[in-house]
Amino acid sequence: MTTELIKPRPNRRWFQFSLRALLILTTICAVLLGLLARVTYKGQQQLAAIEMLEAAGAEMYFGQFSVRETKQHPNPDLSIRFIWFWYGPAEVMLRNAAGDKELAALKSLGKLEIIYVSRKLPGEKDRLRKEFPGLRVEDWPDNY
């Protein structure tokens, strides 16, 4: 009688991990998704603030790009959309006096650097300087 050596099949599967590794992986995924949700929520708040300020007659710029021009373009560059979504405008030009809702919208804009105020509103400039102490508040430029 011939004796053949039969190799036993290994009982191991391809993906073998412990319960602790599964819990660590789940925690890491939850933290990353939570950070993504937080940033997305902040971006949506900034877009809502931009919409409200535009309805009040303000103009907003990030570098050379205007929010209004970006929206009117039939196919705006994807990078410009990300700039508006993640960072918000850097410059805001106010034509009218800012009410409480507009001030709350201005506070929710993350990367705001300069607020330009129309020369027709002399007291508004001082009020905005008190409201935003670390922000530059200047007169509306003549070239706009």
List, as one string, the DSSP characters of 20-37.
Answer: HHHHHHHHHHHHHHHHHH
Q: What strands lie across the sheet with 136-139, from one edge to the other? A: 65-66, 59-62, 91-94, 114-117, 136-139
Highest-confidence range of 5-14, 23-32, 64-73, 103-112, by mean pLDDT? 23-32
- What's the whole-number mean pLDDT along residues 42-52? 79
Domain-located, residue 17? no
Cβ-Cβ contacts under 8 Å for 52 (sequence gap 6 or more): 101, 102, 105
Averaged pLDDT of the chain: 77
**Domain range enclosing 58:** 22-139
Domain-located, residue 15? no
pLDDT digits (tens, 9 = 90+) for 64-118: 667 666 666 656 555 556 666 666 667 888 877 788 888 888 887 777 778 888 8
Q: Count the domains in the chain.
A: 1
| Token digits of residue 139 | 């007169």
Among candidate residues 77, 112, 82, the one with its CA nearest the CA of residue 94: 112
Domain-located, residue 144? no
Domain-located, residue 88? yes
pTM, entire model: 0.63
* Torsion sign over Cα 128, 129, 132, 137: positive
Domain-located, residue 6? no
Domain-located, residue 42? yes
Domain-located, residue 106? yes
